[in-house]
Amino acid sequence: MRMLFASVLTAVFASAVGAADKGVAVEWGGLKSTTPAGWKEETPSNKMRLAQFKLAKETGDSEDAELALFASPGGGTVEANLDRQVKKFELAADKKPAVSKIKIGKEDATYQDISGTFLKKFPPFDPNAKITKVENYRQIYVIFEGKDAVYSLTLLGPAKTVEKHKKEFDEWLKNFK
């Protein structure tokens, strides 16, 4: 009996490790891609999020980065959403977000890269919520208009941690089909 239990336990553990090594299949806006294996899937922190992942912090950073995916029927224009993201940061006078056009699968998307002091607020949509200023933060925001919704995602965290994951994040975006 102990031998059977040990065998089952080993099989379950090996299966879990194998699944973790492969990443998580994500469907977003009718497109699919698999995350890098090191991204840890989390339960979304609110109902607006389709999926949420934790990306391990860089040495010296105090916290991990977070990736959240959204679908918003009637979610506003791309420009309005880009402006809303910029308002979450204090930027140096000579610093503007980098904005570029990319393809995600067959979709035309906008890619916005913001660095500065993040105005952390909880709950995020409460106008009376306390704001905590967090320096050296970075957010990559990607948005496209789908047939039934506006699809967006945010990769947010300490600047060094976001930079650590940027190459694999960009590759993950390219793999959406």
CB neighbours of residue 166 within 10 Å:
15
Asked if residue 47 lies in contact with residue 53, where contact means CB atoms within 8 angstroms, the answer is no
Enumerate the domain spans of the chain: 24-174
Distances (CA, A) of 16 to 10, 24, 29, 32, 35: 10, 12, 27, 21, 16
In the chain, which stretches have pLDDT less than 50?
Answer: 1-19
CA distance 160 to 138: 8
- pLDDT tens, position by position, 122-131: 888 788 999 9
The reported pLDDT for the residue numbered 3 is 41
- pLDDT tens, position by position, 95-117: 999 999 999 999 999 999 999 99
The reported pLDDT for the residue numbered 21 is 72
The reported pLDDT for the residue numbered 160 is 98
Strand partners, 157: 138
Sequence letter at residue 63: E
Distances (CA, A) of 109 to 44, 80, 151: 23, 14, 9
CA 142 to chain centre: 9
Asked if residue 146 lies in contact with residue 42, where contact means CB atoms within 8 angstroms, the answer is no
CA distance 144 to 47: 20
The CATH number of 24-174 is 3.40.1000.10
